Structure 1
Amino acid sequence: MHQALLIDEIIQIVLDLCLDFGDGSTLSRASRVCRAWRDPALNRLWHRLIDVTPLLQLIPGLIRVNGVYLQAFESPAHPDLRALRSYSSRVKHIKTRQSVQLHPSVSSLLSSVGNGLFTRLTTAQLSLTNCHSFCPMLGPSDKLERLDLDLGFKNSILPSTNNAASELLGDLPNLTSLSLRGSASEQVLRAVSAVSNLRTLSLRISTSLDSETILAISAFPFLTGLELHAVHIRSTKLAEKWTARGGAPCFPSLKSLSIRARIALIGTILHHMQSDQLQSLYIDIEPVVQSDDSWTALFNIMKDKTPFLHDFTIDHHVDTDPIGLEDSNANDSNNAPVVPNNATAIDFEDMLRFDLVRPLFKLHDLKRLVFDTTPPIVIRDEDFTQIATHWPKLAHLELGTVPTVDPRWVPQTSLKGLVTLSQKSTTLISLVIPIDMITSVDVVIPKQSHPANALRKITITSLTPPDATLMAKSLDTLFPCLQVIDGTSEHEMEWSDIQAMFQGLRAIQLAVRG
């Protein structure tokens, strides 16, 4: 062997290539080339584990009977586990959803191994409904930093998975990121409430989440990222508890919040939050009709509590069938929409409107703004001047898509709005916007665009098919950096023509400049 192949830096490059372009057998053979290559090759081979079966096969006398791993009758009471220790200590990442069932005697044997088995493990992603008996092999672990557990969504809480989760959570001193989904027991919730060193936490545990857990995690001093599914949590009780605690910490370090809940609870959390560094906010609002007052209350809280917000998304969808929208038969009682008992007959103007968003004009650092709503937010051409004025750093804007070809859903924007954006919102890189093609034909398009306009991607939806020639020429003129154009799927042929014409115009420009 050439001496250069014994230089550590070169060994690393060779083995990385084996990892990227070969399979496990390549690294296995590399580990047998020489002593200098053995450990680096094996470390890469066992670095990431998606199947724990190879490890279990290293336990002397272990057999599988009816899907359960157990020790053979003639196997030693204290088998030699040196090989298991050697290889498990090389694993840094585990991700498995495979079914692994260990006999209690095997679990007990593995949990009794001194100093643990996975001494270098840093991340683990497990489906505990399939491998809860495997958990004793993971602990104790002072290196595990990120843990993702699927507890299973069942009508009732699964004791086996929840017991395994709570035991594992109790012995991870350096855990900084935790994700739980499924149905969690009170024991698991109490274990979560005690892991106060967490930096990021995701709790998608349906109705098993309680207000006491939210109260506990709000005091975590280092928590910067939080995801909650809390549709069932009522805001009044939580607000009372926070008020009763006086000056106790309440999300003092939060920078990112993703929450699915009723709008009142979202407002309550933001109101009591002590951090003024929130940069990302994603709200998935329970699909019920919201009044103007509830939207305004939320946005007024955000105005004061999220001054440095960069990224804001509203995800809110109302069933369009029961919504009473103006149409040509509005006065015909036989054609009036049928409204369920728990719904309210509203028209398009009663939904989220851009004028309700005005409190957010104070958030001058916004870079990404998404209104993923059904129906789309009501916005008019004249509103785009306000967007450019108050959000000068905006790079990504989504104003929703036309959800149906129902003629009652008519966008209030036209090509005139695109003209305003092209001239005044020059930092915009991507845009999703619904447009009324009928009123767009009368819009006068300027002969030249703003030289600093940076838009590269646009998605346009409409009720009626676009005029391919008009749209291609308009987009070519307004957005000199535009590269990607998407449109309504129902008008696929027209948008294919637009894309072809647009590329043709750009090719002509290149030829002229060349």
Structure 2
Amino acid sequence: MHKIWTIPELTSHIVFFLTRPDSGWAEGSPDLVTLSRTCRKISEQALDAIWHTLPDMRPLLRCMPPDLWDETLDESGVLVTSFCRPVRPSDWDRIHIYGPRVKRIRFNWSEYRCPPNLRKRCDPPVYIVLTQHAPVLLLNVQEVQWAEMRDDSFFFLRSLLGPNATKLTFHWPDRLSEDERVGFVNHIIAASPGLQELRILPTSTPCSSAIVDLLSRLSNLTYLRLGLGITTPHDITRLSGLPHLREISLNAELPIKSDADPDRFNYDYPPSCLERLTLSTTNLEPWIALIPHLNNGRRLQSILGYVGPPRESTIENLIETIAHCTSSTRFTSIEISAEPSDSSYSPRPECGSLSNVVRPDVLASLFTHVNLTRVVFATPCQFRLDDDLVKGMGLAWPQLEILVLGTPIAFNRSKATFHGFLSLVSRCPNLHTIILPLSELALDAAVLDRSGGGGGSVCCSREVKWINFGETIVTSSTGDPGPEEVAELLLALFPELFTVLAQEWSALRRGSPGRRLWKKVDRFVRAASRGR
């Protein structure tokens, strides 16, 4: 038995096959002959399972003769695998046996983030030897996830890309020249023309039009994540027009001048099949003008954005643009998050002014998209809500699962009440996450009756698990309610509730009275959830 095999893996495969109806063991012949036949029967399947996924090249290297390779600790405590003599032709025999069984190379990200004394890597000369051995080392690899950023190990990635590769993830070293980047993308197209998913992780290097020209030749792409900065609408529209592309994720800025007319650009491309658009940008405004063009195939269903804190005019412009987008299936998800990147963030002073509140009629314009399941605007902009608008959401979006309007900060312009909130939940049976500021949470007779205090219906929804009412004040006709009383009320209405501080920004956990109350309520709710 080769030492790369592990006893638990072999045991699990043997037990699986022994319990199959067609095995002699299951028919009542528990002898060593039957066991040996079973082991021979599963040997190929066991080898395929063991070698299907590798975290890096080290398992294959360890199958080579033991006098060829060695493992030592470098100055930082990382375990380095290296060759200690020249490689002979016979040393490759086991790699030729096991290599064709490898279908996936997935870099171990958890190991990459662990302390240096627990990390492992290959010595750079090892990659050079492997590259020189064969143009494609693992012919049957279908998925490659590579995070090595040294030049030698990065260019070894070429030896892993073959005609069967359909998924590729890598991080481009910033020091590569433009010619090297273009050459590498050319190699991807030539070696793996059937590539379906491509992820280039974020980098500070911009994406040139020459690279976009090459990427647009990958006609089988269904998913593209491009961490390179794209600066022209022309390039974006070309990529979105790929015939099978369903999802695109871009980490880029798009500096379109305010006086620029998007119709001046040439958008004469085939209808886009794009269904999901993900953006990471500090300025959302220029992208909004492109949404109708990216949806020229009328298939766009989802927009996800990680942006810098936008003004209410930007959010209103985005909502109105989406509301006027026609789609064969209508939008199912709109998620815009402007969470601060560090704890020093504090809301702009104007966030508390009426001028920074999104108008209710703008939000209501989304009611035409009746298939929405996620509506998330986690931004400092606040929404002017009332009970009619909240109830309208429940009527318009019965499939709603997540609703986030604003962020849990002190500037609250909502006039919605707890009664409107309960009406929304009752009309959306799948709703499980709600961040919705209220004018107040009044423990009046109607609410107490609904929670069971007056013999009414106890449970409102068993799906609701995450809630955040911001700094909504809790009132009661019998005096100031305590946190335990509020927690009992919410748990009676929502038995599966886990927290009342869902998606809380750590930078905004201040000591206001409302925040202190909800922190205490949250402790009671979490304690109850642990006791279920």
TM-score of the two chains, using structure 2 as the length reference = 0.70
Q: Distance in 2 between matches of 1:144 and 1:238?
A: 41
Q: CA deviation at 1:221?
A: 0.5
* Pairing partner for 2:56 from 48, 51, 57: 51
Q: What corresponds to 2:521 in structure 1?
A: 494
Q: CA deviation at 1:132?
A: 0.9
Q: CA deviation at 1:249?
A: 1.5
Q: Distance in 1 between matches of 2:133 and 2:97?
A: 14
Q: What corresponds to 2:321 in structure 1?
A: 301
Instruction: Quickly say closer, same or farther: Cα 1:16–1:498, change in 2 above 3 A.
Output: same
Matches within 5 A, 1:442-481: 444-445=446-447, 446-447=449-450, 448-449=456-457, 455-463=463-471, 466=474, 467=481, 468=483, 470-472=485-487, 474-475=489-490, 479=493
Q: CA deviation at 1:391?
A: 1.8
**Aligned partner of 1:196: which letter?**
S
Instruction: Quickly say closer, same or farther: Cα 1:95–1:498, change in 2 above 3 A.
Output: closer
* Pairing partner for 2:141 from 108, 112, 121: 121
**Aligned partner of 2:432: which letter?**
S
Instruction: Quickly say closer, same or farther: Cα 1:498–1:124, change in 2 above 3 A.
Output: closer
Q: Distance in 2 between matches of 1:437 and 1:356?
A: 20
What are structure 2's unaligned runs of at least 5 residues? Answer: 1-11, 21-34, 75-79, 113-119, 451-455, 475-480, 502-508, 510-515
What are structure 1's unaligned runs of at least 5 residues? Answer: 1-8, 18-29, 327-346, 508-514
Q: Distance in 1 between matches of 2:259 and 2:96?
A: 50
Q: Distance in 1 between matches of 2:63 and 2:155?
A: 17
Matches within 5 A, 1:33-432: 34-58=39-63, 72=85, 75-76=87-88, 78=89, 81-96=92-107, 99-100=121-122, 101-102=124-125, 106-112=129-135, 116-130=136-150, 131-139=153-161, 141-152=162-173, 154=174, 164=184, 166-183=186-203, 184=205, 186=208, 188-205=211-228, 207=229, 211-234=233-256, 240=262, 243-246=265-268, 248-250=269-271, 252-261=272-281, 262-272=283-293, 273-291=295-313, 294-307=314-327, 308-317=330-339, 320-324=346-350, 347-403=353-409, 406=410, 408-409=411-412, 412-423=415-426, 425-432=427-434
Q: Distance in 2 between matches of 1:176 and 1:16?
A: 38
Q: CA deviation at 1:34?
A: 4.9
Instruction: Quickly say closer, same or farther: Cα 1:501–1:440, change in 2 above 3 A.
Output: farther
SS at match of 2:386: coil
Q: How many matched pairs?
A: 447
Q: CA deviation at 1:123?
A: 1.0
Q: CA deviation at 1:149?
A: 1.0
**Aligned partner of 1:278: which letter?**
L
Q: What corresponds to 1:24 in structure 2?
A: none
Identity %: 19
Q: Distance in 2 between matches of 1:417 and 1:271?
A: 34
Q: Distance in 1 between matches of 2:165 and 2:17?
A: 28
Query: Conserved in 1, the CA contact under 8 Å of 2:127 and 2:156?
Result: no
Q: What corresponds to 1:337 in structure 2?
A: none
Instruction: Quickly say closer, same or farther: Cα 1:106–1:125, change in 2 above 3 A.
Output: same
Query: Conserved in 2, the CA contact under 8 Å of 1:306 and 1:363?
Result: no
Q: CA deviation at 1:269?
A: 2.6
Residues 289-342 of structure 1: CA distance to partner in whole angstroms, max 9, x if unpaired? 342xx444332321232541112212135864432366xxxxxxxxxxxxxxxx
Instruction: Quickly say closer, same or farther: Cα 1:208–1:486, change in 2 above 3 A.
Output: same
Q: What corresponds to 1:20 in structure 2?
A: none
Q: CA deviation at 1:210?
A: 5.0
Output the aligned Cα RMSD: 4.2
Instruction: Quickly say closer, same or farther: Cα 1:283–1:498, change in 2 above 3 A.
Output: closer
Q: Distance in 2 between matches of 1:87 and 1:105?
A: 20
